[in-house]
């Protein structure tokens, strides 16, 4: 299952830089994860200061 980014996101960009497949991009009010590209590796969750990326 792909990760999603919750509304807790503070748009710091730490997760985008950590994603090995570039599945994360800036959205209108928070970062978003492309579910089709996400490897479910959890790298984004490991660097997020507010635990916004969550496994579905």
What domains appear along the chain, each with residue ranges and CATH number? 3-55 (3.30.70.20)
Dist CA 50 CA 1 (whole Å): 21
pLDDT tens-digit series, residues 1-56? 899 999 999 999 999 999 999 999 999 999 999 999 999 999 999 999 999 999 98
Q: State residue 38 phi and psi, 5-degree precision.
A: -60, 130
Which residues are CB-neighbours of 27 under 8 A, at least 6 positions away? none
Task: Write down the pTM of the prediction.
Answer: 0.92
């Amino acid at each position: 299952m792909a990760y999603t980014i919750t509304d807790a996101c503070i748009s710091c960009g730490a997760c985008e830089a950590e994603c090995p497949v570039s599945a994360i991009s800036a959205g209108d009010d928070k970062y978003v994860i492309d579910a089709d590209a996400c490897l479910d590796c959890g790298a984004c969750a490991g660097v997020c200061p507010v635990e916004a990326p969550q496994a579905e």
